[in-house]
Structure 1
Amino acid sequence: MSLTAMLKTAASGLNAAQMNLRVTSDNIANVNTPGYVRKQVDQAPLVVGGRGMGVEILGVSRVTDQYLQTASLAASSDASRWSAVSQYLDNAQSLFGNPSDESFYFSRLDDIFSAFAASADDPSSSLLRSQAISNVEDFLAETSRINTQFAELGETVDAKLAADVNRINDLLAQINQMNADISRAKLTSGDASGSENIQAQLIDELSTLMSVQISSKPTGGVIIRSAEGLLLSGEGRAATLSYNRTATTKGYIAVEPENGSGYPQPIQVKGGEIRGLMDLRDTRLPAMVEQLGEFISRGVEQINAAHNKSTSSPPPKVLNGRDTGLDLPSAVGGFTGKTTLAILDKDGLVQSTVDIDFDAGTMSPGGAFTPANFLTSLNTAMGGAATASFSNGALSIAGTGDNRIAIDEGTSMKAGRAFSHFFGLNDMIRSSGMISYETGLKGTDPHGFTAGDTISFRLAQADGKPIRDVTVTVPAGADMNDLLTALNDPATGVGQHGQFTLDAKGGLSFAGNPPQNATLSVTQDLTSRGSGGPSMSQFFGLGAVERAGRSGRLSVDAAISQDPMRLSLATLDLTVAAGKPAVTAGDGRGARLLAAAGDVTTNFAAAGALGPVTMTLTRYAAEFGGSIGRQAQEAETRAKAAEAVNAEANARRQAVEGVNVDEELVRLTTYQQAFNASARMIQAARELFDVLNNMI
């Protein structure tokens, strides 16, 4: 080996040792620096002309493990998702109160039935009546409060989602900028680890917000894509994401078009805090609100059913029904069984009765009737002692002079409700809108909507990503079957992705086709049933917004609230002897019916965590309260499990990427000795040169 080769070899070793010493010193100095990844010098033998000429420095790299990094990011994403879900479900559960407290929401229902039971023992007590009414009002007010706070909780989640999306946009832009810095350092064989560490921290934060696909660039840096492969950051640009949601549709994340031209491109988000928040906003919280609406509406139905079977003492002069949303022929059509309308004086003595047989289509007195002439026939049968009217979907019956009205519902039935209950003639609890969507309509009944009116739907995947927007025009065909055909048309309706069906009680519902199992939202509804009647979504309860609104529009009938003696705690008894009152002040049988309303078997539609079930109201209350607790507990358990996995993944990643002081000290000693060895080699070459020079 020539002296020149010896010197070059020693010099390269000296440079390599210096570089390794510098890198090792950096590692030791940053042993406790968050986000710092251990560095190493990449080197290789330097061969010239087939002979070794020392060592070549290729650059400085971070010590990472791609598999552990991917596992850590995935675990972090999952932990953030379930942490968000657990936090907000815990908040949602707290809205109902503590089950051990007297103020617990579901305990208030028992208080109502206990108050009615107490009234049955002393029906003439104004104090007991007032207490029962107060308990009902408190329950309705508490329901409205919870419903309102659910809406506020949803708005909080919306604000958090918007803030997270803004932060994601900042991170994507910074990650893209770091790519340029890393590439420049790589091209000059410089130390890019500082920029890479900063970029890695940005990626770690990004993974807590949303799940992404990450791949390395050959020139340094990373490329970030969405689950379906849409570019988010890298290749010299960063995407801008947006959170898109309306009051009636599910939210989704989209990539905004460049230069503002074109349409946002929806993307899938499978993990991260964003996924947890979107699940809360569009699935979990709305499901709870819908279940609250189903619970309260069925509870109100049972209380009103018992109240319609009863009457006050003395009976009321006027019975005003609710807006059924139907025209009178459609409302009367489909009834079965018999009912009796009684006209009484102020002392409860029967003056006359009208027996209505829906099966035979007759009234006594009066003879035959049809749904079309029902009102005329009823007024004729009452002979001027009372009058009936129908306006804006509501039936009203008023006594003439001081005459009073009471109804024995008998065996009458339509869509699961007796005559007085179906029309809401003696409802204790009133609603400013529809609370029951079991219309009683059959496929051959007229749908009543104006031909040419439109209703628009959005079909979406379970995660909120839109599939298709559809606008359906009310057909010229007048029957419900015609309307169903238009709604389910594969080309102009929802038929490609699901089907609307009409059940035996006249309820309209949508179910998505597998495997997508699309969900449906109402984006615009310009329909009306008749002139000024309810829209299609209001009438049938289409869309989560309409069903969620049920909980906030209930109140005790104003007349009953102002005068507790109007509370119907008695019953009409048509079996009494002539000259005896059919309604008496001391009768508490109506109060007992109200007290037992919670034990009546009821059909509940699928809502929230519960499918369609048949059980008592009190049992459903227990199931509902339990499901809320189970969901919160399940989310907390999953959050703890995900956090444990995340901690383990980070620990294993840190074991590879982190700095071990003992190992670095060993390396420091090794490179110091290597430096000394290279220096000794240079000294030896100098001494040999001096010897050779002296020999000349």
Structure 2
Amino acid sequence: MSLNAIMNTANSGLTAAQTQLRVVSDNVSNVNTPGYVRKIAEQQTLVSMGVGSGVEVARIRLATDRFLQAASFNAGADAARQSVRYELYDRLQGLFGDPGGDNGFFQGVDKAFAAFAAAAEDPASSPRRQEALFRTQALFDEGNRIAGQIQAVREDADGRIQSAVDQANSLLQQIEALNIEIARSSAVGGDGSGAETAQAALIGQLSELMDVRVSTRSVGGVSIRTGAGVLLAGEGHATLEYNRAGTVNAETAFNEIWVTEPRGQKRPLLESITSGEIKGLVETRDIEAPQVAERLAELLTRVADELNRAHNANSSVPAPTSLTGRNVGQSLEAALTGFTGNTAVAVTNTSGQVQARADIVFGAGTITINGTATTPAGFLATLNAELGGAATASFSNGVLSLSATGTNGVVVADDPSNPSNKIGRGFSHFFGLNDLITSDRPAIYQTGLTTSSPHGFTPGETMTLRFTGETGAKIRDLSVAIPAGGTVGDLLTALNDPATGVGRFGSFVLDSTDGTLRFNALNTPAPRISVLEDRTTQVPSGVSITELFGIGGGVRASRGDGFSMRTDIRQSPSLLGLARFDFAAGVGATALTSGDGRGALGLADAGQVNAAFQSAGDSLGGQISASRYASELAGDIGGRAALTKTAMDSAVALHSEAAARQRAEEGVNLDEELVLMTTYQQAFNASARLIQAARDLYDILLGMV
């Protein structure tokens, strides 16, 4: 070997050792830097003409373990998803107060019924009446507040989705910029490890927003895809698009989150991710919070309905001068069809004596008033004639009203032995003539309609439905027009049409027992239905199809913030109906007695009467008392909060373990670096001594010449 070859070999060793020492120095100086990945300088032998000619550092790379990195990213995405779910669900639980305390919402349900029981013991006591009214109003006020706060949680989640999308776009831009820098360094043989370290940190942040898969490119840098394979970075960067909804209410239809791949293909993001903060926020906004809102609204609806059932069977003493019902969402003829049993409309003076009375008998397709036969179309005229001017009945915009003349009052009472009945409601209860709790929107979806009933909507009016899949991504928007046929059966046919209606997803079915409309899905899991727009208006009530039948969870949940106590009763507790009308009393006899508290017992027992709860959220409903439903809802919310906490703790622990193992493999070990430093110092010294030896040989040879 020539002296030149020896010098070249020594110089290569000296350069390689210097590079190795610089890498070790970088590792040691960053031992406590979060996210720093240890550098490794890969050294190889130089060969010339088949003969070794020294060493060189081929490249400097990061000590990245792709398996551990993928495990850490996946665990981080799940931890972020479960953490945000727990955070928001814990807020939802907190809205209801402590389930085991004395001042929570659910305790207020039993307190309201207990206050009526106390009023029954002394019905003439004004303080006890006021206490019962206060407790009842407080219950619905608290329900209104909670319903509003649930929507505030959803609005917060929606805003955070927008922030997460903006953050993801920024991260993808930075990751792709570093891809270019790393590829350039790789092409010229430079050190791109610094850019790779920065890129790994950015990918870690991205993985907390959505689950990602990372692969190394042959030219340097990485390709990033979602869990379902949508390209996010590697050939340019993808762009995410989302426009938040602004003010959120129960019926808000949220916009789609789109991802446009580098090649220009646009896809729904939610179809391609299964974890991450965005997924957790969408789940809370679109599934968990709406389920709580729907169940709360159903509870408040049944509490109100059972109180109204009891109050419609009662009367104040003296009786109120007028009774104004609720909007039943149909014509009077349709509303009267299907009634059975007997009821009476009576006019009483301030002493409770009957001044006039009209006894209504509903038979199989027949109606008589004081023995005079009539029809649903002639009902009002016949009733007014039989009342002889002592009171007047009217029907306008879906609302039945009764008004007595002068200082007299009006009472509606059922025959105890054969009470009037339609879909489990008496005449007064069905029309809401003496309701204690009112609502600013339709809240009862047991319409009593049949397929042969007139629907009352104008042909050509439209409603737009959105079907959403299990992931939260939109499946399809459908616009359905009111058909020319005027019956509810014709309306169902149009709704269920496979070409222009919902037939490809399932069918709407009208319950033959109570007129409730439900959707039967063809596939499992069933798609979620929301109403984007409803331009239908029923004549004469003015309600839409959505409001009449409660289509979609949004309109059902919106009931929760619309209940309140009747204004006149709230202002004058003496109007609270605690007395029971004596159905046997004829004209001239006393039918209402001051101090009668029998009706208060009905109000007190309203919480224990089995009510027909409809499906809401993830509850199938069924026959259950309001108090029992409240207890089960409290337990369900608490149980779910505990489950989300457990899921979060497990996911965070798994992420911590995965990150610890990754740090152990990729992080800096000072003992190892000390060994490497010693080794490369010795290699450096050896190369320097070899150079010195070659120099000495040069000097000797030159001296011999």
Counterpart of 1:489?
497
2:459 is paired with a residue whose SS is coil
Deviates more, 1:365-374 or 1:569-578: 569-578
Give runs of aligned pairs for residues 31-42 of structure 1, distance below 5 A.
Answer: 31-42=31-42
Distance 1:102 1:606, change over 3 A: same
Structure 2 counterpart SS, 1:342: strand
Secondary structure of the corresponding residue to residue 449 of structure 1: coil
Q: CA deviation at 1:444?
A: 1.7
How many Å separate the matches in 2 of 1:156 and 1:338? Answer: 53
Tell me the residue number matched to 1:302. 306
Q: Which moved more, 1:214-223 or 1:467-476?
A: 214-223
| Structure 1 residues 398 and 578, CA gap change in structure 2 (3 angstroms) | closer
Q: In the alignment, what sits opposite 1:274?
A: 278
Q: What is the CA–CA distance in structure 2 between the aligned matches of 1:513 and 1:68, rounded to whole Å?
A: 42
Distance 1:563 1:607, change over 3 A: same
Q: CA RMSD in A?
A: 2.2
- Say whether 1:552 aligns with 2:552: no
Q: Which residue of 1 aligns with 2:395?
A: 390
1:283 aligns with 2:287: yes
Instruction: Tell me the CA shift for residue 383 of structure 1.
Output: 3.2
Listed one character per residue, the Cα deviations across residues 281-305 of structure 1 (whole Å, up to 9, x for unaligned) are 1111111111111000000000000
1:159-205, Cα deviation, whole Å (9 max, x unpaired): 22211211111111111111111111111111111111111111111
Mapped to 1, the partners of 2:646 and 2:551 lie a distance apart of: 34
Report SS of the residue matched to 2:343: strand
Task: Choose 240-249 or 340-349, whichever is displaced more.
Answer: 240-249
Q: Deviations over 1:384-412 (max 9, x none)?
A: 33221111101112223444322222422
TM-score (norm 2): 0.94
State the AA in 2 paired with 1:615: I
Secondary structure at 1:130 match in 2: helix
Identify if the C-alpha distance between structure 1 residues 373 and 233 changes in structure 2 by more than 3 Å, giving closer, same or farther: same
- C-alpha distance after superposition, 1:326-362 (max 9, x if no partner): 1101111122232233333332223443332222423
State the match for 2:627 in structure 1: 618
Mapped partners of 1:635, 1:588: distance in 2: 47
Q: 2:534 & 2:629 partners in 1: Cα distance? A: 33
2:609 is matched with which residue?
600
Work out whether residues 242 and 255 of structure 1, in 8 Å CA contact, stay in contact via their aligned partners in 2: no
1:585-608 Cα offsets, whole Å, 9 max, x none, are 121110000010000001211223
Residue 363 of structure 1 is matched in structure 2 by 368
Task: Answer yes or no: is the 8 Å Cα contact 1:36–1:197 preserved in 2.
Answer: yes
- Code of the residue aligned with 1:500 in structure 2: it is F
Matched, 1:132 2:132: yes
Question: 2:277 & 2:267 partners in 1: Cα distance?
Answer: 22
* Matched letter for residue 640 of structure 1: D
Q: Match of 1:375?
A: 380
Q: Whole-Å Cα distance in 2 between the matches of residues 368 and 340 of structure 1?
A: 15
In the TM superposition, residue 582 of structure 1 has moved relative to its aligned partner by: 1.6
Which one of 464, 472, 488 corresponds to residue 456 of structure 1? 464
Q: Does 1:218 align with 2:223?
A: no
Instruction: Give 1:257 deviation, angstroms.
Output: 8.7
Asked if 1:646 corresponds to 2:651, the answer is no
Equivalent residue for 2:347? 343
SS at the partner of 2:105? coil
3-state SS of 1:44 partner: strand
Counterparts of 1:151-550 in structure 2 under 5 Å? 151-243=151-243, 245=245, 248-255=252-259, 265-268=268-271, 269-360=273-364, 361-410=366-415, 411-503=419-511, 504-515=513-524, 517-531=526-540, 533-550=542-559
Q: Summarize the Cα distance change of 1:162–1:480 in structure 2 as closer, same or farther, 3 Å threshold.
A: same
Partner SS, residue 73 of structure 1 = helix
Deviation at 1:531, TM superposition (A): 5.0
Alpha-carbon distance between aligned partners in 2 of 1:262 and 1:650, rounded to the nearest angstrom? 34
Q: Is the 8 A contact 1:387 1:398 kept in 2?
A: yes
1:273 CA drift (Å): 1.2
- Work out the number of aligned pairs and report it: 695
For the residue of structure 1 that corresponds to 2:359, the secondary structure is strand
Question: Which stretch shows the higher mean deviation, 142-151 or 350-359?
Answer: 350-359
Please say if residues 457 and 523 of structure 1, whose CA atoms lie closer than 8 Å, have aligned partners that are also in contact: yes
- Local SS of the residue matching 1:459: strand
Native 8 Å contact 2:329 2:541 kept in 1: no
Secondary structure in 1 aligned to 2:139?
Answer: helix
On the 8 A contact 1:487/1:500 being kept in 2, the answer is yes
How is 1:27-106 mapped onto 2 (pairs within 5 angstroms)?
27-106=27-106
- Residue 581 of structure 2: which of 572, 575, 586 is its match? 572
Q: Which stretch of structure 1 is more off in the superposition, 665-674 or 606-615?
A: 606-615
User: Is the 1:227–1:267 Cα contact (8 Å) retained in structure 2?
Assistant: no
Q: CA deviation at 1:236?
A: 3.1
Which range moved further: 91-100 or 518-527? 91-100
Give the stretch that moved more between structures: 469-478 or 370-379: 370-379
**How much does 1:267 deviate?**
4.5
Are residues 44 and 653 of structure 1, via their aligned partners in 2, closer, same or farther at CA, if it must alter by over 3 Å? Answer: same
Deviations 1:22-44, CA, capped at 9 Å, x for gaps:
11111111101112100011122
Distance in 2 (alpha carbons) for counterparts of 1:579 and 1:444: 43
Distance in 2, matches of 1:557 and 1:34, equals: 62
Q: State yes or no: 1:670 paired with 2:688.
A: no
Task: Assess, with a 3 A threshold, how the Cα gap between structure 1 residues 55 and 512 changes in structure 2: closer, same or farther.
Answer: farther
Deviation for aligned residue 1:237? 3.7
TM normalised by structure 1 equals: 0.95
d(CA) in 2 for partners of 1:219, 1:609: 51
Letter in 2 for 1:155: E
Contact 1:324 1:393 in 2 (8 A): yes
SS of structure 2 residue aligned to 1:47: strand
Assess if the C-alpha contact under 8 Å between 1:354 and 1:363 holds in 2: no
Q: Is the 8 A contact 2:116 2:600 kept in 1?
A: yes
Specify the alignment match of 2:638 in structure 1: 629
* 668-677 vs 417-426, which moves further: 668-677
**Contact (CA 8 Å) 2:236, 2:262: kept in 1 or not?**
no
Q: 1:108 to 1:650 in 2, by over 3 A?
A: same
Q: SS where residue 412 of structure 2 aligns? A: strand
- Work out whether residues 233 and 262 of structure 2, in 8 Å CA contact, stay in contact via their aligned partners in 1: no
**Residue type of the alignment partner of 1:7:** M
Q: Which amino acid is 1:126 matched to?
A: S
Deviation at 1:367, TM superposition (A): 3.0
The letter of the residue matching 1:513 is L
Q: Which of 564-573 and 266-275 deviates more? A: 266-275
Alpha-carbon contact 2:553-2:617 (below 8 Å) kept: no
Query: Where does structure 2 lack aligned partners over 5 or more consecutive residues?
Result: none
- Report the alpha carbon displacement of residue 575 of structure 1 after superposing the two structures with TM: 3.4
CA shift for structure 1 position 681: 2.8
Instruction: Report how far residue 689 of structure 1 moved.
Output: 4.5
Between the aligned residues of both structures, percent identity stands at 45
Amino acid at match of 2:484: A
SS at match of 2:242: strand
Q: Which range moved further: 225-234 or 286-295? A: 225-234
Tell whether the 8 Å contact from 1:457 to 1:521 is kept in structure 2 after alignment.
Answer: yes
For 2:265 and 2:315, the matched residues in 1 are separated by 64
CA, structure 1 residues 210+223, in 2 after alignment: closer, same or farther (shift >3 Å)? same
SS of the residue aligned with 1:430? strand
Distance 1:559 1:569 in 2: 15
Q: Is the 8 A contact 2:147 2:561 kept in 1?
A: yes
Amino acid at match of 2:562: R
SS in 1 for 2:484: coil
